[in-house]
Structure 1
């Protein structure tokens, strides 16, 4: 593919000998100096798709960055993804003069300022902390020759649109830009227009497509019965790594305590945790000291832990595309994985949106779909209730539920 032998040797040492589809299509364009827009699902090797040509081009144009300047900038939406990008690139620049820096929120800013003072070849950053450093005059971007926006759609989801607009104005017009995303929302066209010039578009899977090796299933279960069903499911594979997704920070902590009481080695990560706490939790999960990680959508993208065998959507996401990103945390590096969703009565709307985004129905593992009845208080709107009559599968079956499932309740909107 035109990569230096020194890089291919480092890849071979990691047992990486064949490129993934996104790498096959994106790397040649990037090596030729073109802007690249890459669309691919999570877990398909996007980091190396931009990392290999970036490091190659820096090696071909040796030089030292000026103080407080960067030669290349990589923007990522979350601390976890930024850290993983840095770690992946470190394996490529080992024994070379190329220096990589990391600046993210949740960590002390003064050490970051001190490291930036010497100049940086590759800076991996989250948008908020990057602008903090620019406002403190600890960094400037006018010397950046290369720019990468990774998981750009999630940056929009997290409200970074204004930060991205401001950063675009601080970069030199003459540069090479690579933008990678799993989906292409309407606002992305604006971002692409601001950052890219005549880009080569690479798409290796339809937006919203789930990883091929993920086995999916859904349990229709009353909200109050979810903890017991989760414990029963987790108990079947205690020696394997499981990632459990909730919606809220408080709810994730509460669920983690419940699982700990049930005898599981568990940790929780979310936006209220400090950077140190999140890093320690992820390290313990990676090496198996923690077998169950409870997380909010802060971990839905970028987490690259190939040993994760099961992903549980304990609470369905409000944004259908996030379901795809969540289940993309398993079946990585060519392995198989299982994604299990729990659907309570007030989540039928979310489930329908998810299945629409997937273009297929998720197989039912237990229970039966909650019936959506008209809401007399809102014309044209409905709330989910349990369907009645017939069938042997009951909502919450296998979780100690009584036949017939949950009692009827007034419809509620999802939080």
Structure 2
């Protein structure tokens, strides 16, 4: 580590580099093609930041390209790298989909960055339209490589790699190994030094994995409501379906729960606002999908909730890796019924995860009890009952308004009123005449 980095490292209170940071430092600094596999939260971003940045020369063109699978992760990596590039006079720019394309082109032209962090689609678009040039590139980092080297994005990543210099260095980083990532040497035609430290790395804190019985979406939403009233509780809530995510987010907000959503076709400005609110503890529940939240680093996140259970071990690892980072304790809550739990236990049978039954009562989460009990449908809190009473009052008010409106339209028109008065007058006159006789 260079002197400027070492000084800042100590100022931030770091004790020593993590296992993955130590393992990849020398081969990366030597220009080798490296594959770093380490658990979530083990410091993989800094693992390639520290050895690669000192190799760059300020103002000599784009020399380092980092590809990320999502806008949020690209912006997060940009923030981390900017903290260290500023120490040695380098410039970094993010290029992500969802951001203003014209502004990105202008910034590329005016600021002339040394480092670019982007999503594959936007980077390839700018390359194909000659707004981005990689003639001076020294290193391309494929972060979250198990996700980027899939059927959906692998072709895009390969197209980008073909537009880099032949002698450019490649680096792959991931928390899990996928079949495509295992074939990286064949795909890119380079000898790869593999640094897999998953067994040696112990940087993760103790994480408790629980099973909380909730059969229907309504029951699951009620559980989230109760959890949101628990003191100091914050959680990333994972969904497999964007439709279910939007439905649940709408329901929770309607019931007064502090919740926000991340996913779908949100603009980048909206995504940044949501993440900022969650990091500042202004939002208790952040509802998201696997793609949107992959790789996100949220310091001291207390819990992760699987509203819809993952269907693969890798998916479970990436979801649950958002909590218990950097030695902090964490909690994972898996919601479902007996059938869901049986499938999840079978899925995780060959892993080290131990699933414990949980129950919730009066905003208290307890373990070691049967997950299916009288609390399966949580009793609403006093605050929530008041919200419901307010909702009923609003509904009564709406119904009264509707009835008044219907009554008004069901009453006779002005002409009919006039005719009725005329007929009434005629009847009264006839009665008087009859009485006089």
TM-score normalised by the shorter chain: which range applies? 0.7 to 0.9
Q: Do structure 1's residue 265 and structure 2's residue 265 form an aligned pair?
A: no
Partner of 1:71: 63
Check conservation: 2:96, 2:123, Cα contact below 8 A: yes
Following TM superposition, by how much is the alpha carbon of 1:212 offset from its aligned partner in structure 2, in angstroms? Answer: 5.0
Separation (CA, whole Å) in 1 of partners of 2:7 and 2:48? 18
* Richer in helix (by share): 2
CA–CA separation in structure 1 for the residues paired with 2:187 and 2:164: 11
Change (3 A) 1:349 1:321: farther
Counterpart residue number, 1:274:
267
Please provide the CA RMSD for this pair: 2.5
Partner of 2:28: 30
| SS of equivalent residue, structure 2 residue 311 | coil
Partner of 2:249: 256
- Residues 21-73 of structure 1: CA distance to partner in whole angstroms, max 9, x if unpaired? 11111112212322211011211100000011111222xxx35234xxx2111
Secondary structure in 1 aligned to 2:15? Answer: coil
Give the structure with higher Rg (CA): 2
Unmatched tracts of structure 1, length 5 or more:
368-391, 403-415
User: For residues 180-239 of structure 1, what are the alpha-carbon distances to aligned partners after superposition, in whole Å with 9 as ceiling and x for unaligned?
Assistant: 0112111113334334733221111159x99552111112331242122222233223x3
Q: Tell whether 2:80 aligns with 1:88.
A: yes
Report deviation, 1:157: 4.6
Structure 2: distance between partners of 1:77 and 1:23: 21
Conserved? CA contact 2:205–2:325, under 8 Å:
no
Matched, 1:325 2:325: no
1:303 and 2:296 aligned? yes
Aligned length: 368
Contact 1:10 1:91 in 2 (8 A): no
Question: Hey, what does 1:362 align to over in structure 2?
Answer: 355
Shift of 1:350: 4.7
Contact 2:185 2:191 in 1 (8 A): no
Task: Name the SS of the counterpart of 1:308 in structure 2.
Answer: coil
Residue 110 of structure 1 is matched in structure 2 by 102
Structure 2 unpaired stretches of 5+ = 361-368, 380-437
Change (3 A) 1:52 1:129: same
Partner of 1:214: 207
Whole-angstrom distance in 1 between the partners of 2:281 and 2:226: 20
Q: Does 1:100 align with 2:95?
A: no
SS in 2 for 1:358: coil
Q: Provide closer, same or farther for how the CA distance between residues 299 and 366 of structure 1 changes in structure 2, counting only shifts above 3 A.
A: same
CA contact (8 A) 1:306 1:331 kept: no
What are the within-5 Å matches in structure 2 for residues 11-22 of structure 1? 11-22=9-20
Structure 2 partner of 1:46 = 44
Deviates most, 19-28 or 9-18: 9-18
In structure 2, the partner of 1:285 is 278
**Could you say what secondary structure the match of 1:340 adopts?**
strand
**Residue number in structure 2 paired with 1:168:** 161
Tell me which moved more, 333-342 or 350-359.
350-359
| Counterpart secondary structure, 1:356 | coil
1:236 is aligned to 230
TM value normalised by structure 2:
0.78
Are the equivalent residues in 2 in contact too, given 1:103–1:126 (CA < 8 A)?
yes
After superposition, what is the alpha-carbon deviation per residue over 1:90-110, rounded to whole angstroms, capped at 9, x for unaligned? 110224331101100001111
Match of 1:335 in 2: 328
Tell me if structure 2 keeps the 8 A contact 1:146–1:176.
yes
The reply to whether residue 126 of structure 1 matches residue 119 of structure 2 is yes
Match of 2:383 in 1: none
Partner of 2:389: none
Q: CA 1:350 to 1:158, structure 2 compared with 1: closer, same or farther past 3 Å?
A: farther
- Once residues 170 and 266 of structure 2 are traced to their aligned partners in structure 1, the CA distance between those partners, rounded to angstroms, is 32
Structure 1 equivalent of residue 427 of structure 2? none
TM-score of the superposition, structure 1-length normalised? 0.82
